[in-house]
Structure 1
Amino acid sequence: MRVVKPETLLRVLYRKYYERFKPERIEGLKAREWAYIPFSESSETMVRHIGVRSYDELRRLLAERVPKSVYYSTAYYVNPSASKMEEKGWIGADLVFDIDADHIPWARSKRYDEMLEIAKKEMIHLIENFIMEDFGFSERSLKITFSGGRGYHLKITEYEIRRLSASARKEIADYLYGSDIDLDMLISHIESGVYTDFGWPKRIYSFLEEAYKKYPNTRDWISKRFKERGVEISEDEVKAIETYANYLGLKALSSVRGSIKSVPRGEKRKAVEALVRLFRVEIDKVVTGDSKRLIRYPSSLHGKTGLYVKSLRSLDDLHEFNPLEDAVVLPSTEVRVLIKSFDKSSPIVRAINGVRIGEYEIELSEGVMSMPLYAAVFIYGLTRLISSVMILS
């Protein structure tokens, strides 16, 4: 039996992985900037400004450097290895969206597997209701990747969008998040029926129309819809949505138009503002607005979890994907680990206790525990509670 430090074992595992590495092909390999975070006890400073000319060169680089995490630029450059950004010669950039559980308010306090499920649903919401329906992109234009951590990346690489400016990208992010929506104009569209077959007006109008049909159970239905998504709503907001839905529903009936009690502008705004909060996409707006971003390279390993940064070929693949099973690629060899003393009420311990990764269900206890190697890497990376690893063979 050998006893090793967790960081030492990680280096060995990652070295073996990258020695047999089969890099995934991406668009514009030679025009990308490459970067990595090395294994280092003193610093996790990213090594940047690397250019590669072939997949063989990339494979050799990673086998030699043994990175903890690998990144590449969303941008295409004339000279990607230039050390100064202004000397790289920006050509264009993919349009990228980042869904991470850390940016979803109702996911932050959940267990790790629940966080991942919420992040997946948010990515599906982004793709189906905005990217495809509102923006008109086809499914074949989309590159979906599990980040290996707590979320997903969506990348659109079509040539036509590569020259989008940073301000245009920010506008797209603002649209998805519902930032700075003119509520009065949105209300005007909803009440006049103009543009209610597209975008935000359609989204809000359709909800209000459905809410009216749920009478006399309108309030319960509204509360349920918000609860299903995890978005908080006050009783006043539920009442405002119900009132506005009934107003629009009755207004559509020509026989009662003259006797409808009007709804104060403030109540309409309250209702619509709550519905924007319900439907907005919880993206990392900074990532989408950045035309020179570095993102994780698919087919690499995540530096904390040890999970595979996995490309998903279709929406069906995304729907069926279980990251805590399908992204486990490290060995299942049984090891014994020494767990330090810990606070059972700490957020990270509560987040991973009870989580099933591969064939192993995590239930931490102080002292020596037996578990598969991939589970030890996952637990150590997220908690740092493992002080040593005992390899049995």
Structure 2
Amino acid sequence: MVIDESTRFIMKMFSRHYRQTALAMPDRFSKREFGFMFYDRQGMVRHTAFPTRASLKKYLIEQTPAHVYYSCAYYEKPDAQTMPEKKWLGADLIFDLDADHVEGAQNMPYEKMLERVKEEVTRLVDEFLLGDLGVPENELKIAFSGGRGYHVHINSPKVLRLTSHERREIVDFVTGTDLDIDWLFPPKPFEISRFKDRVDSDKKRTMPSLDDGGWRRRIRKGIDTLLDEIESMDPVDARSKLAELFEESKRDIGKKTLEGLYKDLFGGKTGKRGVDRMRAENTFEVFSEKRHSDAFLDLVDMRVRGRMKGETDEPVTSDIKRLIRLPTSLHGKTGFEVVPLTRRELTGFNPFDDAVSKAFGEEEVAVRCEKPCNVTLKGRDFALDSGSNSVPEFAAVYLLCRKLASISTKA
């Protein structure tokens, strides 16, 4: 494979990074499989293991991979060429969240995209992992992926032997998949009539409470937010909003049902409306027809659960043999470092400052841009024109890796 000047420069910078950087090694790294992708050859090199930190460091300096991965799994023989020969011993639990899993993020500029994904990974960690699941903070590790998102690693002994199916159940909890309506809105019996020893009763659904935990509290907060949003609109806009919210419903929601749903919730005098009773009495029984209550439950599933759920890449979390990026390695498509983070460090983390390798210096490099572009790195703004430009090494690596520029060969 022919190597151009831009790739040659990137490889030189990457080699320097690995020479100067203290690698963050995963627990029991000698039991992990490593994988690599390169600039100067095709395909992935897998089924590799390293007995020491020094042996891995030497490999990275000399071979200069574009991407470095290690297995979430532990193996008896991690360098065996087939999976059965490796003999699986257990695996960390991994959550992978990037722009593909966050609604609307894919269409944002790169900087805004990373801000949005950071908001979601913070919510995943705080609300679901540390919160609902009670993962101890010292058993949870976060890493900026170097690209479009974040990874969260849990290496508790409690998760090591979980099967793919059991890991999938954790994903289902985080994403609120297949939530039971009778669990969310529990039916409670009430007495209709009594005659001698005979008691006739029926059941009424109750609303989930803010005093509940987990998904009940989450759904109630989401319902309150949605109802507040619709209530604040004038009636015409509110009806249009409801119609818009139901566009993705598999149920045939006609205008008559929408109108009935709106009247059940917001019709009548303030204090006696359906929405007021929901809030004050925690009752679900405010609907005049079953089709109205069914439509409301549809709305809860489609829109409320959708807004309140956590995000993760399901195949990654359920995979017990997945390869994931090595923290402190470099991402070949950005030049950013895969930065290990604590929960506290995540709050103030800015990849455009904190993921730029300290090995990349200030020496000026001549680059050529096909079109004008603007980037901000390490607190400095670079407004680049089409044609030749001069930028520091650290900016050159980013521009070249993202294919926003190439090394200028013009004398």
Q: Normalization by structure 2: what TM-score?
A: 0.79
Q: 1:334: which partner in 2?
A: 364
Aligned-residue offset at 1:185: 4.6
Q: 1:18: which partner in 2?
A: 18
Q: 2:310: which partner in 1?
A: 281
Q: 1:379: which partner in 2?
A: 399
Structure 2 CA distance for partners of 1:234 and 1:301, relative to 1, 3 Å = farther
* One-letter amino acid of the structure 2 residue matched with residue 6 of structure 1: S
Aligned-residue offset at 1:374: 2.0
- Greater shift after overlay, 121-130 or 193-202? 193-202
Q: 2:164: which partner in 1?
A: 166
* Structure 2 residue runs without a partner (length 5+): 188-204, 247-257, 267-272
Following the alignment from structure 1 to structure 2, what is the Cα–Cα distance between the partners of residues 24 and 146?
Answer: 13
1:266 maps to which of 287, 294, 306 = 294
Structure 2 CA distance for partners of 1:83 and 1:216, relative to 1, 3 Å = closer
* CA displacement, residues 338-369 of structure 1 (integer Å, 9 cap, x when unaligned): 123x5x8xxxxxxxx44412244354532112
Overall identity of the aligned pairs, in %: 32
Q: Is the 8 A contact 1:211 1:218 kept in 2?
A: no
Compute the RMSD of aligned alpha carbons. Answer: 3.2
- Greater shift after overlay, 23-32 or 160-169? 23-32
* CA displacement, residues 53-91 of structure 1 (integer Å, 9 cap, x when unaligned): 111221122122221111110001000000101110001
Residue correspondence of structure 1 range 191-206 to structure 2 within 5 A: 191=206, 193=208, 197-206=212-221
Aligned-residue offset at 1:218: 4.3
Aligned-residue offset at 1:327: 1.0
1:237 maps to which of 236, 245, 249 = 245
Q: Is the 8 A contact 2:34 2:47 kept in 1?
A: yes
* One-letter amino acid of the structure 2 residue matched with residue 335 of structure 1: V
Residue correspondence of structure 1 range 82-97 to structure 2 within 5 A: 82-97=80-95
SS at match of 2:388: strand
Following the alignment from structure 2 to structure 1, what is the Cα–Cα distance between the partners of residues 262 and 336?
Answer: 43
Q: Is the 8 A contact 2:265 2:286 kept in 1?
A: no
Q: Is the 8 A contact 1:101 1:119 kept in 2?
A: yes
Q: Is the 8 A contact 2:67 2:325 kept in 1?
A: yes
- Greater shift after overlay, 329-338 or 103-112? 329-338
Q: Is the 8 A contact 2:222 2:305 kept in 1?
A: no
SS at match of 1:169: helix
Following the alignment from structure 1 to structure 2, what is the Cα–Cα distance between the partners of residues 24 and 261?
Answer: 58
Q: 1:33: which partner in 2?
A: 33
Q: Normalization by structure 1: what TM-score?
A: 0.82
Following the alignment from structure 1 to structure 2, what is the Cα–Cα distance between the partners of residues 303 and 236?
Answer: 42
Structure 2 CA distance for partners of 1:299 and 1:64, relative to 1, 3 Å = same
Following the alignment from structure 1 to structure 2, what is the Cα–Cα distance between the partners of residues 242 and 50?
Answer: 65
SS at match of 1:136: coil
Residue correspondence of structure 1 range 151-190 to structure 2 within 5 A: 151-183=149-181, 185-188=183-186
SS at match of 2:89: strand
Structure 2 CA distance for partners of 1:71 and 1:252, relative to 1, 3 Å = closer
SS at match of 1:108: helix
* One-letter amino acid of the structure 1 residue matched with residue 128 of structure 2: F
Larger radius of gyration: 2
Following the alignment from structure 2 to structure 1, what is the Cα–Cα distance between the partners of residues 335 and 115?
Answer: 19
Aligned-residue offset at 1:211: 6.0
Following the alignment from structure 1 to structure 2, what is the Cα–Cα distance between the partners of residues 150 and 287?
Answer: 15
Aligned-residue offset at 1:208: 3.0
Aligned-residue offset at 1:174: 2.2
Following the alignment from structure 2 to structure 1, what is the Cα–Cα distance between the partners of residues 381 and 24?
Answer: 31
Structure 2 CA distance for partners of 1:38 and 1:7, relative to 1, 3 Å = same
Q: 2:390: which partner in 1?
A: 370
SS at match of 2:107: coil
SS at match of 1:159: coil
* One-letter amino acid of the structure 1 residue matched with residue 364 of structure 2: E
Q: Is the 8 A contact 2:366 2:408 kept in 1?
A: yes
1:298 maps to which of 318, 322, 327 = 327
* CA displacement, residues 34-59 of structure 1 (integer Å, 9 cap, x when unaligned): 1111221x52x111111111112211
Following the alignment from structure 1 to structure 2, what is the Cα–Cα distance between the partners of residues 298 and 361?
Answer: 27
SS at match of 1:129: helix
Q: Is the 8 A contact 1:335 1:390 kept in 2?
A: no
Q: Is the 8 A contact 2:368 2:405 kept in 1?
A: yes
- Greater shift after overlay, 291-300 or 263-272? 263-272
The number of equivalent residue pairs is: 362
Q: 2:253: which partner in 1?
A: none
SS at match of 2:340: strand
Following the alignment from structure 1 to structure 2, what is the Cα–Cα distance between the partners of residues 80 and 150?
Answer: 29
Aligned-residue offset at 1:234: 5.6
Structure 2 CA distance for partners of 1:23 and 1:268, relative to 1, 3 Å = same
Q: Is the 8 A contact 1:360 1:375 kept in 2?
A: no
* Structure 1 residue runs without a partner (length 5+): 224-232, 345-352
Q: Is the 8 A contact 2:33 2:46 kept in 1?
A: yes
Q: Is the 8 A contact 1:148 1:310 kept in 2?
A: yes
Aligned-residue offset at 1:179: 2.7
Structure 2 CA distance for partners of 1:363 and 1:188, relative to 1, 3 Å = farther
* One-letter amino acid of the structure 2 residue matched with residue 306 of structure 1: G
Q: Is the 8 A contact 1:70 1:300 kept in 2?
A: yes
Aligned-residue offset at 1:104: 1.6
- Greater shift after overlay, 168-177 or 69-78? 168-177
Structure 2 CA distance for partners of 1:57 and 1:275, relative to 1, 3 Å = same
Following the alignment from structure 2 to structure 1, what is the Cα–Cα distance between the partners of residues 12 and 285?
Answer: 77
